[in-house]
Amino acid sequence: MSTTGDNIPWELLTRYAAGECDAPQAAELSRRIENDPALAAALAEVLLQAVAVRDDAEAHPERPVIAVVKPRWRSAVILSAAAAITLLISIVWLIQTGGERHILTVMQADGSVRWTGAGGEVRETLANGSTLPGGTLETVSDDATLVISFADGTTLTLLGRSLATLSDDGQKNVHLRSGSLSADVRPQPARRPLRIHTPTALLEVLGTRFEVDSDDANTRLAVNEGRVRLTRLIDGRSADVPAQHETIASLSGAEMPVMPRRQPEVLWRSDLAAGPAGTQGRWLPAEGDIEARLATEPVFLPKSSRGPVTIHRVGLTLPWQNRANIHVQPDSRLRVRGRAKTTATLEVMLACMKAKGGYAGNWFQQRRIEPGTWQIELPVSAFRHWHAQAQDAPQEPLELRQIAIYTISTDAGLEVGSVEVLRE
């Protein structure tokens, strides 16, 4: 129903401009404003008065307060100002936040995470439900996960060691410098897709679910639902990647075929003789009868469930060396072989996604190892979730994205020679 000058909800518009409406009220009023020019013009009046209050506040020490009196006239100037509502809303946000417009909400933060704002502010602790004005987000450790949401419900998940800068000035932009990102993107305006920039590619998304892995030389895109356009930066070549397909954009200029996602593997064995690609730790080549292996390197974690600690770890990022996805089942087991110089408690972490996309959590298990050569087998049913105090365990197939193997505080001279996924 169109709004007339006699029934403009001035008090509601004032609270809307001041950011005091709850989410359902704001969503409903936003919908009405988009479809009712009179209501849009009324909001323009509210916002213009807010700007006047801001200008007055610059000359007076009092804190600015938006107070709107129902006007008795409406001029062409005011009606034309309705077309500039987006700009004015931004100004009011600046008044409310002291120069920063909060665009992100932290849905979940596990492990060591960090946010850096445009002004250089750094936060090492991000509480669930806290809001952020964009900036750089970093998951610092292998067991770190950060789930954040834009106002429209678009959700991004950073996994493991990942680094991304996020902004939203009416069009969402994500600069994924390195690491892994999973996204559930709500429908975007037709001419303002969400853009994901990596060192090798530009992705444009109107609404879908997908996963991206990026480093300095390659971008791997796997689409679960919808469609994503990927453009390779070195030559401008583009590809539309539909659901259940994937492609890789490389700086090498190799072919960029769009292929159906390969069926996940449920049996898998690492091959460290192939080199260090996809590994974390110090890669060591084969020597005599000793196979190629990974030696741990120290990593300091300023924030963990145990407080600040140094861990000595190796890791594998999956899909490893561009192979198919690896799925672990509730009846799978992990076999790890290696060497150690001292007795130690070994921690093994599996970072997982759901089989159809979306974050499934980090899962942990401990095992005691002795000096010399050792081999352990870890049933997936014995892994426990990060948050779990009860005896939970994976109940469905999960896509394996990261395997981390480490000791805490103690350097046991750990070397890992192979990792296998087996079935009962």
Could you read off the pLDDT of 62-100 as tens digits, one per residue?
444 444 444 433 443 333 444 444 444 444 444 444 445
Contacts (Cβ under 8 Å, ≥6 apart) of 405: 313, 314, 315, 336, 338, 346, 347, 348, 349, 414, 416, 419
Give the residue-averaged pLDDT of 110-116. 87
Query: Which one-letter amino acid corresponds to residue 291?
Result: E
pTM equals 0.67
Give the residue-averaged pLDDT of 173-201. 93
CA distance 252 to 273: 23
Q: Identify the helix (H) or strand (E) that includes residue 55.
A: helix 37-57
Could you read off the pLDDT of 4-27 as tens digits, one per residue?
445 677 777 777 666 666 666 766
**Which domains are seen in the chain, by residue range?**
10-97 (no CATH), 104-260 (2.60.120.1440), 268-423 (2.60.120)
- Indicate the burial class of 42 (C-beta count within 10 angstroms; 0-12, 13-18, 19 or more): buried
Report the percent of the chain where pLDDT is more than 90.
43
Q: Residue 31 region, left (φ>0) first, then alpha (ψ -120 to 50), else beta?
A: alpha
Q: Tell me, what's the pLDDT at 94?
A: 43
Structure tokens at 252: 């090498």
CA distance 106 to 150: 9
Query: Which one-letter amino acid corresponds to residue 8?
Result: I
In this predicted structure, the answer to whether residue 30 has a pLDDT above a threshold of 80 is: no
What is the average pLDDT score of the chain? 80
Could you read off the pLDDT of 391-407 as tens digits, one per residue?
577 778 888 888 999 99
CA distance 341 to 372: 6
**Confidence class of residue 31 from pLDDT cuts 50, 70 and 90?**
low
- CA 41 vs. chain centroid, Å, equals 38
Nearest 5°: phi and psi at 117?
-85, 170
**Confidence class of residue 2 from pLDDT cuts 50, 70 and 90?**
very low
Could you read off the pLDDT of 287-310 as tens digits, one per residue?
988 899 999 999 887 766 677 889
Residues paired with 199 in a beta bridge? none
**Secondary structure of 186-216 in the HEC alphabet?**
CCCCCCCCEEEECCCEEEEECCCEEEEEECC
Give the residue-averaged pLDDT of 308-336. 85
Extended beta strands in 170-306, E state: 172-184, 194-197, 201-205, 209-214, 218-225, 227-232, 238-242, 245-250, 259-260, 268-269, 279-280, 282-284, 293-295, 297-301
